[in-house]
Amino acid sequence: MIPNVIRRVEFQYCKLHFLLRTRPLSHVMYSGSTGLVTPVADPSLLDCSRAAAQDVDGFAIISNFVSSEEEEQLMVDIRRTLRGRKYLYDHWDGAIEGYSETEKSNWSESNTPVIQRLKAVAAAAVTDKVVVPLEQVHVLDLAEDGHIKPHVDSVKFCGEVICGISLLSDSVMQLQHEEYPDRWIHALLSRFSLYIMRGVIRYKYTHAIPTNENSVFKGERITKQRRVSVISRTQPVHS
């Protein structure tokens, strides 16, 4: 449900946990520049079929989660880590083409607050159980001609929540229910934003970042350039 009037009530960062637990994900916005969070209805970055409306609360995008200065700082660290690596076109499980990646746990001091914010959102994204972000953060550098095929992250390596910061470029994420073709969600992952995926969306929907030929959001072509994502996943649930 979307409130008629957008209430701009500012919370200190420590209230983020409370906010995520008491409001649907689609009503949360994080202001990286002020360090405050504001609950807003921001449906403009999501498009979904009527049938997927019942599930869409499991996916949200928080605009401007990082500032351009924070992006630059993150990229200094990431460039250093990925230096000399070529883009690969043969992913171990065939899901990604045109990428370079690393699992990173050591960040420079200037990037530590952003990584902490990212993990804080991941830890707070579900209400009915305790989830713990993995220590390592996944950095995925996707070339301009790179793309991610539809897949569901393996439950062996990832738990209930996936949160990713999008750097350098806008892109489109396509989410598709594995069993019901009429349930789809398209998300505009705007540069500097954070997406949060949880629950039924994480487990039952495939997610993909298409090639530029198929990168369309609400009828408009979105041309992805080189895009880097910084992703926090929660620990796998072992039964």
Ligand X SMILES: O=C(O)CCC(=O)C(=O)O
Sites of contact with ligand X (CB under 6 A): 140, 148, 153, 164, 207, 229, 231
Minimal distance, residue 231 CB to ligand X, in Å: 6
What is the distance of C-alpha 210 from the center of its chain? Answer: 15
Contact 64, 32 (CB under 8 A): yes
Q: Given the complex with ligand X, which of 36 and 152 has the nearer CB atom?
A: 152
User: Reduced to 3 states, what is the DSSP secondary structure of residue 91?
Assistant: coil
Asked whether the beta carbons of 46 and 61 are under 8 A apart, the reply is: yes
Closest residue to ligand X, judged by C-beta, is 229
Nearest 10 degrees: Cα torsion 161, 167, 172, 175 = -10
- Smallest separation, CB 142 to ligand X (Å): 6
Pull the structure tokens for residue 228. 């880097």
Question: Which C-beta is closer to ligand X: that of 118 or that of 140?
Answer: 140
User: Judged by CB, which is closer to ligand X: 120, or 162?
Assistant: 162
Q: Minimum CB separation from ligand X for residue 129, in Å?
A: 22
16 vs 148, beta carbon nearer ligand X: 148
What's the closest the beta carbon of residue 88 comes to ligand X, in angstroms? 13
Asked if residues 123 and 135 have their Cβ atoms less than 8 Å apart, the reply is no
Q: Which of 16, 113, 99, 133 is nearest to 69 (CA)?
A: 113
